[in-house]
Amino acid sequence: MSPQLSLKTIALSGALLSLLVIVMSWLGIDTRTANQVLSVLEHNQPGFYRVTTFVDGDTVEVNMAGKIERIRFIGLDTPEKNHPDKPVQCFAHAASQHLVDLIGLNPVRLEADPTNQNRDRYDRLLRYVYLPDGTLINAKQIEDGYGFAYTAFPFTKIDEFKQLEGDARQANRGLWGQCQIELDGGFISTEAD
């Protein structure tokens, strides 16, 4: 589903939800109860999932119909804060907090990439993660300077993500202006915090 189609669907469901509130008011249901019903429906849209845990800046857990799934963001790599073999890296906590701030209490829509695999070696689902307004969080983390374009595996948005990384680097946004950047085995990372 494209972001434009998603936005149209959200706008339509918003209109239907508003109509539902009007009908509930007409039936004598108080405004507070109607707004609570509206809030529940808005946060439980089909195809959207509630984030239950923010693991780090590029990994979350979501509730998928009662099953908790760990989601690894396609094409995004943020500084490590939970790696068993690495110390906490510069900007790891900032990247995690930025992700929390971006998502907040919003449900997220997940999208696989046809050129990428479904799961990684740690059994995490590999997905693009969208906000209800169509914002692609994977790209936003890179654009705002909280992560790198992770290009070790193919994905359809690789050129876009590399461009966003280049723009963030040029502007010294986020980690680009505050951390020592290292190249380790072909991978970009930040030094230990």
Provide the residue ranges of all domains of the chain, joining segments of one domain with +: 1-42, 48-190
| Catalytic machinery residues | 72, 80, 124
For residue 139, count CB atoms less than 10 angstroms from its CB and return exposed for 0-12, middle for 13-18, buried for 19 or more. buried
Architecture of 48-190 per CATH? Beta Barrel (2.40)
Compute and round to an integer the Cα radius of gyration of the chain: 19
| pTM score | 0.75
Residue 115 is predicted with a pLDDT of 93
Q: Is residue 175 a contact partner of residue 58, using CB atoms and an 8 Å limit?
A: no
Type of residue at 83: H
Question: Tens-digit pLDDT profile for the chain (193 aa)?
Answer: 334 334 444 444 455 556 666 776 777 877 777 666 655 555 455 589 999 999 999 999 999 989 999 999 999 999 999 888 888 999 999 999 999 999 999 999 999 999 989 999 999 999 999 999 999 999 999 999 999 999 999 999 999 999 999 999 999 999 999 999 888 766 787 777 6
